[in-house]
Chain A
Amino acid sequence: MSHHIVEVQDLRFAYPDGHEALSGISFRIHHGESVAIVGANGAGKSTLLLHLNGCLVPKQGMVRIGDFPLTEKTLPDVRRTVGMVFQDPDDQLFMPTVYDDVAFGPLNLGLPFDEVDARVRSALATVGGEHLAKRPPYRLSGGEKRAVAIATVLSMSPNILVLDEPTSNLDPRARRNLITLLHGFEHTKIIATHDLDMVMDLCDRTIVMHQGHILADGPTREIFDDDRLLDEGHLERPLSLR
């Protein structure tokens, strides 16, 4: 199924102030893979994620999502294919109620009311949030907000999920629930995180970024066993491997 492939070729990006955040990134992620992107603060993880559904346009190089290269014209298709969950749920949940928020994407896709309603219910059921439908998002706990933020993306039935720091600010129970939830998804998953223990649980493959480059790309276990590599990437062996 070639349309679930994420391919990045020699991607470069510099911010307007001249800071080069990505300097030549290439990788290929296949259908159903679960890939972690790890690295120090400022390594370029978030900038990379923003390229994957066209929030940022490549200065040089190419991003391909499935069959199309990412361009202005393919943007709507790409955005439907790639569901992006941002780091701060308050940025993602902007509607008056949880229901309206989860319905926002499908309504913009122009789906009929009944279909939207069905999708909202099924997305909320998937994340265990049916009872939250009528609540205003600012009244939710951190864990609930995160779950609903994921539902807002699921309701558009994307093939690829991109998550930025999904476990940040969560208590251990909420974190565990989230990991279980993500484990159940068959989507292609791309997760940028500092939570290396979660990576051990969820991702078979890990990409280590450092100062806009890819330092390593391989099986998670191998990478986390390489102390020299971890040190170079400002990382630490996860607790479960010590």
Chain B
Amino acid sequence: MATDRTPEMEEEIAALVVAAREGDREAFDELVRRTYVDTYTLAVRLTANEEDARDVVQEAYLRAWKGIGRFRGDAQFTTWLYRITANASYTLVQKRRRRRTEPLETAAEPVELRPEAQPEAAAESAVVMAQLSDAVAQLPPKLRSIVVLKDVYGLSHDDIAQELGISVAAAKVRLHRGRKKLRDILFEEQGRSAHAV
């Protein structure tokens, strides 16, 4: 289950990663159990579609299992998994875009699984956060993926560019456009309702 991880939990994850790299499937299954809510949340934010997000989660863990031997441990496992999830999501969104033309569904309302462990998040009202989630889901996929990976998950421009197959300069331009567009969506909403970020 996803939580804000303590240093002890991070150590346990690191030990599981070491075992998984040696081919221990049970250790990898335990890594899946500990991280799948986090991975699913990122997948929903990137795809703005719950069904696609489920496919992305499965694909991400299959890729992670195949590639765990190449994970050198120079980054956190979760960061490595975010990058794989971003890449799997990008592949799926591209594939879906070729197949259908209807707009993407709006992302699900966020559910706080452990609100007591999130004092900062609790400070902002659930309504505002739901409004923000909706606004992010309204961004065009190319801009949304950059805003989510950089401003929500804190990935570097280099990592984002590599996983999305674009240049660092293009990633920066898209971030700029994405923030501007998100600001417009949010504050146009503000004009129509009393709530705003």
* Bound together: no
Chain B contacts to A: CB under 8 angstroms: none
